[in-house]
Amino acid sequence: MKKSEGLSWMRMKSKYLVMAGIVGIMLAVLTGCGNGAEDSGNDREEIELHEPKGTAVNTEPVRRRNLYNATVYEGAVYPYVEEYSFPVVQRFGSYGALIGDTVQKGDILVNADEEAALEKLKDLEEKLRETEEEYTEFKTKKEEELYIQNLELERLKGIVENLEEDMPEETVTDKDGKQIPNPDYAAWQSEYVRWEGERSLKDYDIQVNEEALRQHKELYQLDYEYYNSQIQELRAQRKDARVVSQISGVVVNMGYYIKGQMLARGEAVAAVADMERKYIKCGSIARRLLVNAADLYVFVNGKRYEIQYEGSDRRSTTFTFSDEENELEVGDYAVVVLKTDYREDVLTVPSDSVYQEGTAQVVYVLEEGQSIARTVETGMDDGMYVEILSGLSEGELVVSQGRRAGTEEAVLERKTRQRAYTGTGYAIMPVTTVVSNPVENGVVVSEGNLLRTNNHVSKGEALMSVRVEADELDIASRETALKRAEERLADLEAEGREEDEEDIAKRRKSIEEQEKELAEIRRDAGVTEICSPVDGFLQYLPIETGQTMEKGAMAALVADEGFACLMVDISENRTLNYGDELTISYKDHNNADQVTQCRVLTLGACGQDCYMGSDVALMSVPEEVLDELPLTDGNVYGNQIRLYRPTGYVNRMENVILVPAEAVTVQSGRTYVDVMGEDGNVMPTAFLAGGSDRDYYWVVEGLTEGMKICWE
């Protein structure tokens, strides 16, 4: 717009005012009063324009800049992960692998508790065996009887048939020619009735035995089918009693369970990661933002990588990425950059220089020492600078609040950015042994614990003093029954009859079983202590003095001393990623100060849910320091034993440009820094910050190494 056009337009809109009015307007412009700088470019303050009288004002040239409207999301490089669970309800038995272990496809991760199932299976198999033996014995005996009976029947049939062939006439003719009863026939008939009766009886006996065999076979088949179906069902359950890894990789999550603890069907108990299959994960991003993104990429260690949306869940968004040189490692800190809008190398003016007059947007342009109103068309506004689509040319001076070159200067350099971390962690020992009440006969009463929790215990060391209240009447009754059984056996053996041999064998077996049961009852009655079956740390003693214990009840819980890790709370500061190393300070057994490095074994805030969600991270304890690292001190909270404070640096990103925090201007969430050109002029320049701390902002985009910046 030419000067004359601007003056003509102003005359149409207003009259000249006195200098005081102009000064008032200029003061409003200079101080930004009512500026609405944080509003969008189409929501400018409406003012009454006046023809200026040449008052000196602050100005800024129209320049080309990059403008950004973008959001960054913290994330990391994550591996491909599979979570595993039992397909049916099971009780936890033991670990096949531990967190941090490398496993192959097909390796067992978790075993179900099969003791009860195995006991039942053993009982069913024994019943099936006894059923088969009893039926086989019965069948053999009956078949032998039938064989003999059939032979006898054939003999009797032969006698009867011979008699039938030799049957005499019923009558004979006497000397007088009369028919009279044949004496031979009467004798024959008597003999025939006798043998036919014996044949009929034998035939009946055979039918009775055959029917008994048939019925016994039917009963046997019913019992066999029942026991066999139960056995097959238990065996099928045993096939589901293993959680097996379906991929080769590293165990990155593992649930903490006690033997016998019920595990729901589908409850994730372990997670394995394939470290060769990598993704980018960050906090959850709305799908609509991704679909409408003007630009989308990930920034890691000073470099941009292209990404593609893979999927989302309630806590995270996943991307695949292009890394042809295989530079990225699992656990690398990353930020996902999502630009909703951006402009490259466009004409811009300060946002505070643009005003709204009705439907028109106006700036003041300094021409020949005078401020002249100019109508402009604006585009994108980032809160500090606005894009000019028309009405201004590069280099023209517009009235604004103005910026002065600062006295502090620095040259931008690439450095390593990392965040100091101090956390709170506890030592945990997830592999445990349940010490159960070993007494099966009698009432067990605790007479007091002999050790305190968190003490080290040795295999065989007494944990609790107990007394067993045995059933003396039951013992006396069993002793009497055993004595009588022995006396009856002795009588049979003394008689020495061959037909008693089978009965004698059964009585001997019964006596052996009675003796065994009685010995077990007497042994249980003599128990005075419950001892640890393993070496480890005593974690839990649930029984109080005077309290009775049920058969098989937990008497104590002992942790395996051979494996420990640190559990670090990250619920409020989700900064730890897989592979991060932190320092643990401690005093060894000689009271000397020591340090060790612990490595994060679990995934970060976007990781799996199966251990304790994402609110904790588990860290390895080096095996070489397990013997000297004090794992217990009496401060117990569940399975958390000793408090530690891991320290170190996390969220490490190498080769990034750092900008002193005091040099950065933040406007509407956008970051700017004053860049000095070779001519000494200052140009406020927007940049995308990946993050910041008290001292520095670090740059994702917009600034280059070697730029000179300044600030007041």
Q: Do 481 and 578 lie in a common domain?
A: no
CA distance 664 to 416: 19
Band of the pLDDT at 472, cuts 50, 70, 90?
A: confident
* Predicted local confidence at residue 712, as pLDDT: 86
Q: Do 494 and 605 lie in a common domain?
A: no
With respect to residue 318, please indicate whether it lies within any of the assigned structural domains.
no
* Predicted local confidence at residue 613, as pLDDT: 53
Cβ of 659: how many Cβ atoms within 10 Å? 22
Last residue of one domain, picked from the residues 191, 221, 239: 239
CATH assignment at residue 682: 2.40.420.20
Last residue of one domain, picked from the residues 621, 645, 669: 645
Strand partners of residue 428: 565
List pLDDT tens digits, range 170-216. Answer: 888 888 888 888 888 888 999 999 999 999 999 999 999 999 999 99
Q: Do 160 and 202 lie in a common domain?
A: yes
User: Using only C-alpha atoms, what is the Rg of the chain?
Assistant: 48
Position 34 pLDDT exceeds 60: no
Q: Do 509 and 439 lie in a common domain?
A: yes
Domain span at 618? 424-429+562-645
Percent of the chain with pLDDT over 90: 53
CA distance 541 to 448: 10
Name the one residue in this structure whose structure tokens are 């005499």: 168
Tokens of 306: 């292209």
Q: Do 553 and 660 lie in a common domain?
A: no
CA distance 36 to 351: 9
With respect to residue 535, please indicate whether it lies within any of the assigned structural domains.
yes
Q: Do 673 and 592 lie in a common domain?
A: no
Q: Is 472 helix (H, G, I), strand (E, B) or coil?
A: helix
Q: Do 603 and 706 lie in a common domain?
A: no
Position 608 pLDDT exceeds 60: no
List pLDDT tens digits, range 527-579. Answer: 999 999 999 888 889 999 999 999 889 999 998 888 888 888 887 777 888 99
With respect to residue 233, please indicate whether it lies within any of the assigned structural domains.
yes
Q: Do 516 and 475 lie in a common domain?
A: yes
List pLDDT tens digits, range 646-682. Answer: 999 999 999 999 999 999 999 888 899 999 988 888 8
Tokens of 617: 């991270």
Strand partners of residue 70: 339
Q: Using alpha carbons, select from 377, 397, 395, 396 the residue that is nearest to residue 387.
A: 377
Q: Do 220 and 166 lie in a common domain?
A: yes
CATH assignment at residue 547: 2.40.50.100
Position 23 pLDDT exceeds 60: no
Q: Do 547 and 571 lie in a common domain?
A: no
CA distance 296 to 75: 14
Q: Do 637 and 690 lie in a common domain?
A: no
Percent of the chain with pLDDT over 70: 88
Q: Which of 34-38, 416-420, 671-675 is predicted with the least confidence, judged by mean pLDDT?
A: 34-38
Q: Using alpha carbons, select from 133, 119, 116 the residue that is nearest to residue 224.
A: 133
CA distance 178 to 184: 17
Q: What share of the chain is helix, strand, coil (3-state, %, to 5)?
A: 30, 40, 35
Name the one residue in this structure whose structure tokens are 């409207």: 69
With respect to residue 159, please indicate whether it lies within any of the assigned structural domains.
yes
Identity of the residue numbered 145:
E
Cβ(410)–Cβ(706) below 8 Å? no
Which residues does 419 contact at the CB level (< 8 Å), separation at least 6?
Answer: 575, 649, 650, 651, 693
With respect to residue 16, please indicate whether it lies within any of the assigned structural domains.
no
0.85 surpassed by pTM: no
Distances in whole angstroms, Cα of residue 626 to Cα of each of 40, 253, 678, 682: 61, 21, 60, 59
Last residue of one domain, picked from the residues 183, 210, 239: 239
Tokens of 194: 């006798």
CA distance 434 to 537: 12
Position 616 pLDDT exceeds 90: no
With respect to residue 546, please indicate whether it lies within any of the assigned structural domains.
yes
Band of the pLDDT at 15, cuts 50, 70, 90?
A: very low
Band of the pLDDT at 633, cuts 50, 70, 90?
A: low
CA distance 466 to 451: 14
What is the residue-averaged pLDDT of the chain?
85
Q: What's the whole-number mean pLDDT along residues 263-277? A: 91
Q: Which of 7-21, 429-443, 621-635 is predicted with the least confidence, judged by mean pLDDT?
A: 7-21
Which residues does 561 contact at the CB level (< 8 Å), separation at least 6?
Answer: 429, 456, 535, 536, 537, 626
Band of the pLDDT at 2, cuts 50, 70, 90?
A: very low
Number of domains in the chain: 4
Identity of the residue numbered 33:
C
CB environment 398-410: b (16+ within 10 A), e (fewer) = bbbbebeeeeeeb
Q: Do 122 and 195 lie in a common domain?
A: yes
Q: Using alpha carbons, select from 443, 433, 434 the residue that is nearest to residue 550.
A: 443
Distances in whole angstroms, Cα of residue 552 to Cα of each of 193, 423, 458, 530: 71, 41, 22, 12
Listed in sequence order, the DSSP H helices in 65-182 are 115-165
What is the spatial order of strands in the sheet that 548-549 belongs to? 529-531, 462-469, 443-449, 548-549
With respect to residue 271, please indicate whether it lies within any of the assigned structural domains.
no
With respect to residue 393, please indicate whether it lies within any of the assigned structural domains.
no
